Amino acid sequence: MKLAAGLSLLALLVAAPVAVATPTGTLPPAPPEVPAPLAFTAVDRPGDSGDAILLTWGDPPDLPADAVIEIRRAQPPADEWTDLAKVKPGVGQYVDTTARDGNVYRYEVRVRSAGTADSTGIAGAVGPPVVSDPAASHDNWFRAERTNSFIAMGLFTGIILVSIQVARSGRPLFIRKIAGLNAVDEAIGRATELGRKVLYVPGIASVNDIQTVASLAILGHIARASARYGTDLDCPNRDPLTFVSARETVRSAFLAEGRPDLFREEMVNYITYDQFAYTAAVSGRMVREKPAANFLIGHFFAEALIMAETGQSTGAIQIAGTADPAQLPFFVAACDYTLIGEELFAAGAYLSREPVLLGSIRGQDLAKALLLLFGIVGIVAATFGITWFATVLNTR
């Protein structure tokens, strides 16, 4: 009796969990599988100097909310997988910049589900890995994403060169009057009459700045005019390279005019590299020595107004020129003439009147007309919702 009761109790105990867990008698649901990434590729990153491999993949559908894509890498001969990165879903790509040219790598991506309260997966479950073909990085011959700017550069250069050729053929070219450049001779003549010097400030940037090169080109012309009229020239410099270049420019100009005897080393001098110490020195020179003509031509920063206003207070005729839009208003307000933007770069050609140089100015204007056309087409396209035009012209 007691044995039968115990056996029955034992049967109940064994049957009970099954009865409670599976009232209908079906198996418990299997944990959901973590999916694998799709279409995984590893290739050399295009358009670079090497040492980079581009990994791309597609996120699988039904990705758990807290999933993360793990990336691992293996390199022969050890072929051991090492962790490389973890990326959030939706990114779809990763660039391995720790790769080195000459090595062959294999990559593996897999999905890991962290298992938070929202997930129904097992905590830390990992999906099946997808392994790439062997990949190696190398440097490339061309940056494809810059094709549009390459074409634009080629077109622009071609227009300039054709215009120069046309100018060489002897066709007369019209260049509009630039008041500031027409006043250069007047300014130097005024300084000669008054027996005072010409002060030339070539900006505060170094000689690798194209505005400084343009300024040195104008300095060459002004030095020649000074040599011709016997006017004293003073060119204080802030940058040592500009100082060296300016000195050679002025020396060559005086030599070319056949007046090497008038050239003095102290005409072109170096002051200091500090921006405001240089400004203070130049301003002091303007006030004490009262040059009759001030040329402020080149790349200027905050010191532009200080110099221009000080020069204005001494009564000198002032011709300024810069391509920096931030300083232009100050020059316009404080100087008699201002070369704005491209007029500074055209000055060398304008002053020399050489047909070849004038031809390049015309080419530049043709290129600007083409840009204007693109701009108008782009505005109309954007107005009508056509975006590919702007996308094609976008550069990286």
Q: Are 57 and 39 a contacting pair, CB within 8 Å?
A: yes
Q: Give the nearest distance from C-beta 311 to other proteins in angstroms.
A: 11
Cis peptide before 77 (omega within 30 of 0): yes
Q: Which of residues 309-348 bind other proteins (CB under 8 A)?
A: 309-310, 312-313, 323, 325-328, 330, 332-334, 340-346, 348
Contact stretch for other proteins (CB under 8 A) within 18-26, 36-44, 58-66, 141-149: 141-149
Of 111, 217, 296, 316, which lies in the binding site for other proteins, with binding defined by CB under 8 A? 217
Q: What is the torsion angle, in degrees rounded to the nearest 10, for the CA atoms of residue 209, residue 212, residue 216 and residue 222?
A: 160
Per DSSP, 266 falls in state G
Q: Are strands 53-58 and 38-44 parallel, antiparallel or unpaired?
A: antiparallel
Q: Please, which of residues 43-62 interact with other proteins by CB under 8 A?
A: 47-51
**262, 271, 314, 389: which one binds other proteins (CB under 8 A):** 271
Cβ contact 139:49 at 8 Å? yes
Cα angle 267-272-276, degrees, rounded to a multiple of 5: 115
Secondary structure of residue 74 in the 3-state scheme = strand
Give 143 or 190: the residue with its C-beta nearer to other proteins. Answer: 143
Q: How far apart are CA 339 and CA 344, in angstroms?
A: 6
Residue count, binding to other proteins (CB under 8 A):
108
Measured over the CA atoms of residue 355, residue 360, residue 364 and residue 366, the dihedral's sign is positive
Among 133, 208, 374, 387, which residue interacts with other proteins (rule: CB under 8 A)?
A: 208
179 in contact with other proteins (CB under 8 A): no
Residue (256 or 392) nearer to other proteins, CB: 256
From the list 132, 192, 211, 318, which residue makes contact with other proteins (rule: CB under 8 A)? Answer: 211
**The binder of other proteins chosen from 59, 280, 314, 378 (CB under 8 A):** 280
Q: Which of residues 1-40 bind other proteins (CB under 8 A)?
A: none
Give start and end residues of each alpha helix (H) in 233-354: 240-256, 275-289, 303-313, 328-334, 342-352
Q: Which of residues 235-254 bind other proteins (CB under 8 A)?
A: 237, 239-241, 243-245, 248-253
Q: Which is nearer to other proteins, 231 or 327 (CB)?
A: 327
Q: Under the criterion CB under 8 A, does residue 288 sit at the interface with other proteins?
A: yes
> Which range binds other proteins by CB under 8 A, 4-12, 107-115, 175-183, 221-229?
221-229
Q: Please list every residue from 350 through 379 that binds other proteins, using CB under 8 A.
A: 351-352, 354, 356-357, 360-361, 363-364, 367-368, 371
Our CB check for other proteins shows the closer of 200 and 345 to be: 345
Tokens of 41: 């590729």
CA-based torsion, 14, 18, 23, 24: positive or negative: negative
Nearer to other proteins, 80 or 266 (CB): 266
Nearer to other proteins, 14 or 151 (CB): 151
Region for 290 from its dihedrals, namely left if φ exceeds 0, alpha if ψ lies in -120 to 50, beta otherwise? left
Task: Please state the closest distance from residue 183 (CB atom) to other proteins, in A.
Answer: 18
Distance of CA 347 to the CA centre of its chain: 26
Cα–Cα separations (whole angstroms), residue 168 to 154, 158, 366: 21, 15, 17
298: left (phi over 0), alpha (psi -120 to 50) or beta: left
Least Cβ distance, residue 244 to other proteins (angstroms): 5
Binding mask 98-117 for other proteins (x = CB under 8 A): x--x----------------
- Judged by CB under 8 A, does residue 272 bind other proteins? yes
